[in-house]
Structures are given as structure tokens and as C-alpha cells.
Amino acid sequence: MLQYERFETIMNKLQKQSSVRVSDLSRELGVSESTIRRDISDLDKAGRLKKVFGGAVPKTDDTDFAGRSVNAVSRNVEEKARIQVDEKSEVAMRAASLIEDGDLVYIDAGTTTGCMIDHISCQGATFVTNGARHAIRLARRGFKVYLLSGRLKAKTEAVIGPGAVDSLHKYHFSKCFIGTDGVDRESGLTTADIEESMVKTKAIELSQDVFILADSSKFGLVASVTFAPLDAGAIITDRLPDEAYRRQARVVELHR
Amino acid sequence: MLQYERFETIMNKLQKQSSVRVSDLSRELGVSESTIRRDISDLDKAGRLKKVFGGAVPKTDDTDFAGRSVNAVSRNVEEKARIQVDEKSEVAMRAASLIEDGDLVYIDAGTTTGCMIDHISCQGATFVTNGARHAIRLARRGFKVYLLSGRLKAKTEAVIGPGAVDSLHKYHFSKCFIGTDGVDRESGLTTADIEESMVKTKAIELSQDVFILADSSKFGLVASVTFAPLDAGAIITDRLPDEAYRRQARVVELHR
DNA sequence: TAGTTTTTGATCGTTTTCGGTCGTTTTTTG
DNA sequence: CAAAAAACGACCGAAAACGATCAAAAACTA
């Protein structure tokens, strides 16, 4: 087994497990503990994880108040992209079809909104986004693209924080497309990161038409921070698990 | 078996396997390990895969945008590009070694500055950049990264224009690293895009120590817009084609 | 065909990786 | 709090991988 493969295996495990042990890795990968220690040291030096006594934990780019690992709940971009692919893609396709020539569109960072990019058919829209990779992909497709300024969060590749909110002020969007971690009748629309939530809230405020992208798995979930009430915009979903949501929000349901 | 066939076989394997070994390929393709190593080196330099100790892994698209597919390029062109890559990389490595803990560093968009990212060894620096992909790569490596706001230019993946210059104002860099298209004794430092030049000029103005990255091929070239005089900062290059430059600028020359 | 260029395989000194040992540090246990 | 256990890192030697070099083989050219 190549050193590089071990590196990737360790990092993959850390995305799901929130911690790994030297002894376990040594057994599972069939190499000595010395080697695992070296690997972990190298990955730590490279800034890809945090070495702790007995093993390693994922490196969170914004330090949790206790300095503890919070990765068990919030996975990173690639991981998230893998799950619920079909549903995400359907929702995204529908959302993309709403974009028209002349629109000034805000596209939120995130995997679901990212799916939209390949499905945008009209050519005359202008885009603003806080997703660094989204911006690159949009620009490649030939669109006029503006990026927000501010700190780049490694895990979600999103520009966040007060700087990002500031640089939003001058825009007046005709449409905005926002992803969400949770949709709940009591808590409304929620997301895991407070700084990301600030950006979402501001973008919604500045937009004429608001669209929330939420595949069916998001309903009933509540993340750390509420960024908008349920009726902040139209919720686009593949399947609505509970008709009760209709009383509180405008819902676009793809499968009946 | 033709070289071309081996190239394709290796690339095909990498699409399914996530890694290949020199020893395996040597046996399977019936050629010596030397040959496989040469093949892998060539494919790596062409940007089609990533060479690792013991074999190779697929190239993830986060490296740089020089990684286009080169199916039928003439040998001469490929050879030339390879040499330039080496020189760029040397220059970048030297530049990266100048970064220290505590620095607030501006990194300009561009391929040469992009090479720096993999070679930054210290962990305690903070970065500001107008390169969208640079930002993503820096963030992945665990650095604190800030992006400028503004329009994203598709070709260079750089944030440019007045918005970008505005969002620069608040920073005071300890060091900045700027790429250039041309270095000329009369015209100074030049670049092709007027909006990119504005960002470069402002970043230089805001920085205590200024470093210009220019491989030897850039000397004597003049692009459309001058963004700074020759003595705006230290010019880092692999080889200085003409000693006369020393009279006008501070030069760091790698090969004497 | 003869001469040139390119590709390939073998060699060899150098570098990198890896597992085991051992003294030290950290954590757990009593 | 002290002893025991576990984990650690530094070090070393063996093994593997590497790159540079060179000569033979193959492909190309005049």
C-alpha cells in the first residue's frame, strides 16, 4: 500500500469517524505503528488533521469554542456531494430553469446550489456568489460572475463572515438561490455555521425572489442556526414529506 | 507496445483504480520499471496525473489551470512547456521559503504564484489573494485565507476590477508576491489586462516587502500595461539574461 | 544503406520508506 | 500520589524506490 493511499484512507476515516487511533489504523492498514505515527505527523504538519495522543482528529478551520472536533455532524464538501445525488440534481435542475436573461442572481455556496450550474440554460444572466468553486465554474461557462470578499472557509469553500456581508450590500438581486441544512416547522431554515448564516440572511434580504433548495431529506432537521423563517421564499424540493409545511410556506414539489 | 499506448493504459487504470504502482505496471505492460518511471514522470509534467512515491494517483482538479489535456501536442511544444514548468517551480519554491509565521501575505493570481502554494512550509501565516483557485488550495492546506471581492475573470480565475481594488484597501501586507507577463528595462513590469494591473499596483502599494516572480523567459517582454516600475520590489528569477537589469532593480537569481 | 535520433533496459549511487528497539513522556490505574 | 501501562519520538539498519547515466535497440531520415 502506497504512503499516499494511507494518507487518503486516514483522511477519509476522519471525515466519518471524528477520530482515529494509531493502533486501529496499524492493524487495518497492515503496517507498523511507527509508520502510522509518521503518517499522522506528516498530515498534521501539512495541516490536514490534528494529532492527538493516541491518534488524530479532523482539523476544523474555525475553532470550536472548546477546541473540539465537530466534524461528526458537518461533513465536508465532497462527502456531502455524494449523498442524495439524484434528488439534489432534480431540485437543482428545476431551480436552474427559473433563471432568465437579465437576472442578477445570487447563488449560495453549497453542493445543491452547485448542481445548478451545469443546468443553467440561458446565457444573459449575471451571477454573484460566495462559493469560490461555484464562481470558477460559472466563469468557465462564460457567465459574468462576481465574488464576495472575506474569509474562505475550507470545508465548504464558502466566503463567510462580516466582510462577505458587507460586500453584499451594494447588490439588488432579482433572484437568489439558497441551500439549507434543515427545514423545520418550528425552527425554520437552519444551517450549521453562524457566519454562513449571516451571509444567507443578508442575501435573502436583498433579493426580490427567494428560492430555497431542499431535497426531501432536509425536512424535519434542525441545524445550529436559523437564518430565515419558513416563508422567506419558495422551497423547491423533490418530495414533500409532510403536507403540513404547505400551510407555512410556499412549496414547489417535483414528484407528487 | 507504443509509448502512447502505455500512456493511455496508465490513464485508464487511474480512472478506475485511484492509484497505480510502478512495479505492477512494469509487470503488466511488460516493460522495465525505468520506462514506467519515465512515463509517469512525463504524464506528471504534462499535468495528467500526480506522481507519488511508488506509483501515481489521479490528478485532482485543484492543482492549477495549466492542467489541460494534451492529446496531440508536438514534442517541441511539450518539451518547452516542461522546461518552463521547472523554472517556474524553482522560482516559486524560493519565493515560498520567504514566508514566515505571522506574515500577512498577498498572493497574486497566476500560474507562477500558484506553484508557491505547495511549497509553503510555515503554518502561521495569513493569506489574501485575488486568485479564486489559489484561495481554495490555501484553505485546504489549513491556512487562514481571505478573498478579494469583484468580478471573476474566467481565463485567469482572478478577481479583478475596481471592486477588487476597493476590498484591498483595508489590508497592510508584510509581504506580497506578484506575477508578471513582462520585465523590461524601459517599460518596467507589465501585464496583459488593465484591470488585473490595477489590482497588482494596489497590492504592491500596500505591502512592506514586494517580490516579483519572473522566470527568465519574461525578461525583455513588454505586455499591454505597466503596473509597476522595475524597482518596485525584489525580482526573483531562475537566471538573469542580462546583467544590466541589476542596475535598475534588486534581483534574486537562483542559478549563477 | 548509412547516419542520426529516439526509445528502452540495465546499472549504480542516492534518497526515501519502513519496522523494530529503546529511553522518555503521558495517561491510567490502584 | 506513585506505580504500571500505554503511547511517543528519535534512531538505526534493511529494503524499496528513485533518478542519472550509458549503451544497445529501434525508428526515422537522407
Selection from B135, B155, B154 nearest residue B143 by Cα: B135
Q: Do A142 and B154 touch (CB under 8 A)?
A: yes
DSSP assignment letter at A73: T
Task: Give the number of C-alpha atoms closer than 13 A to the C-alpha of residue A239, restricted to the C-beta side.
Answer: 8
A13 min Cα distance to partner chain B (Å): 17
Quick check: A4 contacting B, CB < 8 Å?
A: yes
User: Closest nucleotide to residue B75 (Cα to C1')?
Assistant: C6
Q: Inter-chain contact A4–B52, Cβ cutoff 8 Å?
A: yes
The residue count for chain B = 256
Helix (H) or strand (E) holding A37: helix A33-45
Q: Which residues of chain B have pLDDT under 50?
A: 62-83
B115-139 tens-digit pLDDT: 888 778 777 899 999 999 999 999 9
- Give me the residues paired with residue B38 across strands: none
C-alpha cell of A182? Answer: 434543515
CA terminus-to-terminus distance, chain B: 42
What is the percent of chain A with per-residue pLDDT over 90, rounded to a whole number?
Answer: 79
- Chain A touched by B148 (CB under 8 Å): yes
Q: How many CB atoms lie within 10 A of CB A44?
A: 17
Domains of chain B by start residue, with CATH: 3-58 (1.10.10.10), 83-253 (3.40.50.1360)
Average pLDDT over residues A30-57: 92
Residue of A nearest to B171 (CA): A150
Q: Which of residues 32-51 of A touch B (CB under 8 A)?
A: 45-48
- End-to-end alpha carbon distance in chain A: 49
Residue A128 corresponds to which cell in the numbers above?
454573484
pLDDT of residue B86: 61
> Do A39 and A47 form a contact (C-beta atoms < 8 A)?
no
Q: Which range, of A51-60, A97-106, B115-124, B137-146, averages the lowest pLDDT?
A: B115-124
